[in-house]
């Protein structure tokens, strides 16, 4: 725990930590607010699904909508941020200093990611709060009743969403962490992460359905399904109407990817030549 808290103090002083947090919060908050603003245009404009648009700004459905955007936008920002943090362990020489002081390479590698995971939890809550604020402002801008914040099982469902979303973001971040630690380079890690993210969005569209089913178990697909989001009203009924993998199974797959990625990061660190 000593290394974890030391890592948190180190992350807090980095400008990149605050820049990443601000970017993610602005992306999610402004996107939700703009969706609310667009509702007023849907009355006399064809091509708009008003029911789905209102889902983004009416509670408790807005919880799922905000969480979806947190994962989509904050998840990408988190991957880039984590890859950059991992890369600086080599370029700044902090890993070498820790090893020279007698720290275990594996313990330091895992503790560093533990610090990042806790920082991501705090950042996710801040970004989620920005999304909720954006939903409220969007609903007020559109003149839509925002509904009840604690309707039925809304709060237990929200707690589960936040925990699952954090695990999902940690999964993507662990993959980015492993790539950057293996590459030993900040820019290489960031570039590979962005390339994989873009490929995960478009490559499956050109592949046979049987291959797509296999790719659903890769980190990007499994992490998304692990959250267990409720679909918009127009997308179907019930939870997980558009989910490819059953949420609990996807959560297990996500956990396997986290463990595997951290194992790769630790192995890369153990095998690396660190002179000093």
Q: Residue 241: is its pLDDT beyond 80?
A: no
Q: What is the pLDDT of residues 126-156, one digit of tens each?
A: 999 999 999 999 888 888 888 877 776 788 8
Residues 263-272 pLDDT 10s: 999 998 888 7
Tokens of 92: 């700044």
Residue-wise pLDDT for 57-94, tens only, equals: 888 888 998 999 999 888 888 888 998 888 888 877 78
Residue position matching structure tokens 């950042």? 123
- Side-chain-facing half-sphere of 96: CA atoms under 13 Å: 12
Which carries the bigger pLDDT value, residue 235 or residue 3? 3
Buried/exposed 194-225: b ≥16 CB within 10 Å, e otherwise: eebbeebeeebeeeeeeeeeeebbebbbbbbb
Element (H, E) at 214: helix 209-215
Note whether 132 and 61 are within 8 A (CB).
no
Average pLDDT over every residue of 113-125: 93
Which of 19-28, 37-46, 237-246 has the least mean pLDDT?
237-246
The pLDDT score that the predictor gives to residue 235 is 56
Report the distance separating Cα 129 and Cα 136, nearest Å. Answer: 11
Q: What are the tens digits of pLDDT across the range 200-233?
A: 777 777 778 877 788 888 888 889 899 988 777 6
Tens of pLDDT, residues 2-37:
778 787 888 888 888 899 999 999 999 999 898 888
75 in Cβ contact with 168 (< 8 Å): yes
């Amino acid at each position: 725990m000593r290394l974890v808290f030391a890592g948190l103090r180190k992350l807090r002083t980095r400008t990149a930590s605050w820049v990443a947090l601000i970017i993610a919060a602005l992306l999610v908050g402004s996107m939700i607010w703009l969706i609310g603003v667009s509702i007023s245009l849907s009355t006399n404009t064809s091509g708009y699904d008003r029911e789905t648009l209102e889902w983004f700004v009416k509670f408790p459905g807005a919880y799922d909508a905000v969480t979806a955007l947190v994962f989509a936008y904050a998840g990408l920002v988190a991957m880039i941020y984590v890859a950059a943090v991992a890369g600086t362990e080599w370029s700044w020489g902090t890993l070498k200093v820790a090893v020279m002081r007698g720290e275990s390479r594996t313990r330091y590698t895992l503790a560093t990611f533990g610090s990042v995971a806790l920082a991501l939890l705090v950042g996710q809550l801040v970004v989620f709060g920005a999304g909720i604020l954006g939903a409220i402002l969007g609903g007020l801008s559109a003149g839509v009743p925002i509904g009840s914040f604690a309707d039925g099982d809304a709060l237990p469902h929200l707690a589960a969403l936040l925990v699952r979303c954090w695990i999902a973001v940690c999964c993507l971040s662990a993959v980015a962490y492993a790539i950057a630690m293996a590459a030993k380079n900040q820019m290489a890690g960031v570039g590979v992460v962005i390339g994989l993210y873009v490929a995960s969005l478009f490559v499956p569209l050109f592949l046979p359905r049987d291959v797509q089913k296999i790719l659903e178990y890769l980190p990007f697909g499994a992490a998304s399904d692990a959250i267990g989001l409720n679909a918009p009203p127009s997308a179907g009924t019930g939870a997980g109407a558009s989910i490819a993998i059953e949420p609990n199974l996807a959560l297990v797959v996500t956990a396997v990817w986290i463990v595997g990625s951290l194992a790769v990061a630790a192995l890369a660190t153990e095998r690396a030549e660190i002179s000093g």
